[in-house]
Amino acid sequence: MGNRKSTNYLKLFFSLICRLIVLSLVLILPILCFKYIFKLKDINVSGSSLYTKEEILNTMINTEADKSSILFYFKYKYLKQVDLPFIEKAEVELVGLNEVNLYLYDKVITGCTEYMGEYMYFDKEGTIVESSNELYNEIPLIKGLQFNKIILYEKLEVQKDELFDVILNLTQQIRLNKINVDTIEFNRKHEVKLYCSSNKVLLGKDLRYDEKIADLSQILLETKGNDLTIDMSNLNAIRAIKE
């Protein structure tokens, strides 16, 4: 009788051991798979002109789970948006066991203006889309706009709505001609002055600046100078004066 009980206890003990082993395998194997088989080794980032790859990955990879290619893919495909101020959306694609493609879409930013120590970024319609304490090199600072208040996600009320069309035209042509413009400034007559590093460019007042910006690109290429004041208010009488 005693031997039978001992045998039953042993069977029960071995049964529990087997169950624990199976349970451990069920729990541990997926973890090992995610950690080693699906270890994230490479992320191909494209699409954003405002952030470096390092800045993007520092924001997106902040847990151990994010270091698994398949978990990273499902997280940003179905569960979470990329938490970067100037990113509209992101598309992620799993291209291998250890590799993903990440394509980022920048918000369409025309310019920014300074307000109470913050840089307020607006789109082509003049709507404030983001605020930041950082001034990004790719986006020109707009000076000379007159406003009483700024509300995030609402249109900026300035002295003349048509100025946003002018700003859009200027920024498009500046990017098209690959000119490094730090600041676009309007005076009371709505005449435009550009600050290109240490050079000042007087553009005068127009509805469109396509021709002037194209000419400016060539002038800067030819002069290769610094501390110049370039008067382009009259295309028939362009002057470049060394300060």
In the structure encoding, which two tokens stand for residue 109, read together? 């930013």
Q: Could you tell me the pTM of the whole model?
A: 0.71
pLDDT in tens, 206-218: 989 999 999 999 8
Span 74-132, pLDDT tens digits: 899 988 888 888 888 899 999 988 899 999 998 888 999 999 889 999 998 899 999 99
b/e string for 125-147 if b means 16 or more Cβ within 10 A? ebbbbbeeeeebeebbbbebbee
Query: Can you tell me the distance from the alpha carbon of 189 to that of 90, in angstroms, rounded to the nearest whole number?
Result: 42
pLDDT in tens, 125-183: 899 999 999 888 789 999 999 887 888 889 988 888 888 899 999 999 999 999 999 99
Percent of the chain with pLDDT over 90: 33
pLDDT band at residue 238, thresholds of 50, 70 and 90? low
Per-residue confidence (pLDDT) for residue 36, from 0 to 100:
64
C-alpha 139/C-alpha 67 separation (Å) is 33
Domain topology for 111-242: Rossmann fold (3.40.50)
